[in-house]
A and B are shown apart, each in its own frame.
Chain A
Amino acid sequence: MGELLRTPLFDLHAELGAKMVPFAGYKMPVQYPLGVMKEHLHTRAGAGLFDVSHMGQVILRGDSYAAVAAAFETLVPMDVLGLDEGRQRYGLFTNDAGGIDDDLMFANRGDHLFVVVNAACKEGDIVRMKAVLEPNVTVEVIEDRALIALQGPAAETALARLNPSVAEMSFMDVATVDLNGSECWVSRSGYTGEDGYEISVPATEAEALARALLVMEEVEGIGLGARDSLRLEGGLCLYGNDIDTSTSPIEAALTWAIQKVRRPGGDRAGGFPGASRIFGDFAEGVARKRVGLAPQGRAPMRAGTPLFAAEEGGDPIGEVTSGGFGPTLGGPVAMGYVGSSQAAVGTEVFGEVRGKRLPVTVAKMPLVPSNFKR
């Protein structure tokens, strides 16, 4: 493995006393001196600042937005053409087998499509986009910008001090906004289940912007540890754990992300990788399904915990794909896959922890209600 990369906020993390760990080829803050539990609770009560600069930022340009969108629809089962200017949507790169190669965000920024992909997948995503979209669409990888997320109920108050216009944005709106003298590309979105913003800022100006936010009473730096427990309580998938190249969007309970126009019977049905399997899943249903899981006791059920239909005997019916302690719930929280016949909310299944089968209830996701500004 080569040298770990550093984000533009690396020195600031060190100054704040962050514990740094390798993550997707980068040296990233896993926690600050506050600790995972308090960082999590702070984000749900105030505002948390996350460095997500390791994620891939890509601009797609062509003759028009419509031309770019039509080309991008060959890669994702989402309605890209119908996305209004100034709006963002969640998307999936599917593969020929109908599995998921990455999840992403894409935004209609008028004359171009702005795409944000996972750090661990970005090299492959870029290769894929270039192979399919070029030469009619140019794939510009943005290397000179950092990405900062500001999340939590106080995010609006905090960010509006730098530019009041951000308060007018609704969930999934995108806009170019001047923040602290920098041209920022802001979306009202995030991955914590809270209201908040994701801010693409020129790399050389990222530290100044982060400092301008961190001096505010409401804002604390938050590491990857709390980011994981926040997104888990929020029912949001971690690529590589909860969704991967073998899971179809239907199995992953991401059917909502496929707009009607791309589904069977829609005006632009199909035409994306793996459409035949995914349409088969629509028609025939699936054998397994991603569900929220609420362990009944106190013991956390971590990723890899096998799940059973009964307290004794039988083969596993699935497994936990993400699990741990949910600080807001004050107890264990998990998600994973079970057979479709066990997927109804309220069904009791059993997770085997250290040789003991412990009861766990299939629960409605998200386990902690989301707090988006619709």
Chain B
Amino acid sequence: MKFTEEHEWLRVEDDVVVVGITAHASEQLGDVVFIELPEAGTEVTKDEEVCVIESVKAASDILAPIDGEITEVNEALVDEPGKVNEDPTGDAWFFKIKAADPSQMDDYMDEAAYNDFIG
């Protein structure tokens, strides 16, 4: 698994990258109450805002970590946004993206580096 400074995790599964937010991020956000997902088939570029996540406290954006095409989104989160707090790195993935340039993954941290990053 790789990690971004935006507190997203990225897991390579076959030819797609699964994206979610870290346990640290979900704790900081507090109870998640609303999620707006992109549409499958959308072409996105790195750092583009692709999801909105709202907690009891505030709204924040989720950025596309890499260039590519969104192949699948986790519709279950729309009805149960609280899953993001319960199982952030498992059931509560946000979307899958087919990487246009897999070398963009090299920029991101491994778990040890991410744990150092969040202190």
A binding-site residues for B, Cβ under 8 Å: 31, 35-38, 225, 229, 298-300, 302, 324-325, 327, 332, 354
Contact = CB atoms under 8 A, between A and B. Distances in A.
B33 A325 contact: yes
Given A35-B31, A299-B54, A327-B31, 14 more contacts: A31-B30, A36-B30, A36-B57, A37-B33, A225-B30, A229-B56, A298-B34, A298-B78, A299-B34, A300-B33, A300-B59, A324-B56, A332-B33, A354-B52
A37 B34 contact: no
Contact of A325 (B52, B56, B78): B56
B30 A325 contact: no
B88 to A, nearest CB: 14
Contacts of A38: 31
14 contacts: A31-B30, A35-B31, A36-B30, A36-B31, A36-B56, A37-B30, A38-B31, A225-B56, A299-B36, A300-B33, A302-B58, A302-B59, A325-B34, A327-B31
A300 B34 CA distance: 7
Contacts of B59: 300, 302
B15 to A, nearest CB: 31
A37 B36 contact: no
Range of interface residues on chain B?
10 to 19
A182 B59 CA distance: 44
B30 to A, nearest CB: 6
B31 to A, nearest CB: 4
Contacts of B52: 354
Contacts of B31: 35-38, 325, 327
A325 B54 CA distance: 9
Q: Count chain A CB atoms within 10 A of each CB in B31, B36, B78 and give the residue with the most.
A: B31
Interface in B43-59: 52, 54, 56-59
Nearest to B61: A354
Contacts of A324: 56
Contacts of A31: 30
A300 B30 CA distance: 15
A8 B52 CA distance: 39
Contacts of B78: 298
Contacts of A325: 31, 33-34, 54, 56
Contacts of B34: 298-300, 325, 332
Contacts of A299: 34, 36, 54
Nearest to A324: B56
A327 B82 CA distance: 12
The 7 closest A-B pairs by CB, nearest first: A37-B31, A325-B33, A36-B56, A298-B34, A300-B54, A325-B56, A299-B34
B75 to A, nearest CB: 13
A332 B34 CA distance: 9
A300 B78 CA distance: 13
Contacts of A225: 30, 56-57
A225 B30 CA distance: 11
A323 B56 CA distance: 10
Contacts of B57: 36, 225
A299 B32 CA distance: 11
A302 B78 CA distance: 19
A190 to B, nearest CB: 20
Contacts of A354: 52
Given A31-B30, A300-B33, A325-B34, A37 B56 contact: yes
A326 to B, nearest CB: 9
A92 to B, nearest CB: 29
A355 to B, nearest CB: 11
A225 B78 CA distance: 23
A37 B85 CA distance: 12
Interface in B22-39: 30-31, 33-34, 36
Contacts of B33: 37, 298, 300, 325, 332
A217 B43 CA distance: 53
Q: Count chain B CB atoms within 10 A of each CB in A36, A229, A325, A327 and give the residue with the most.
A: A325
B74 to A, nearest CB: 15
B36 A35 contact: no
Given A300-B59, A302-B59, A35 B54 contact: no
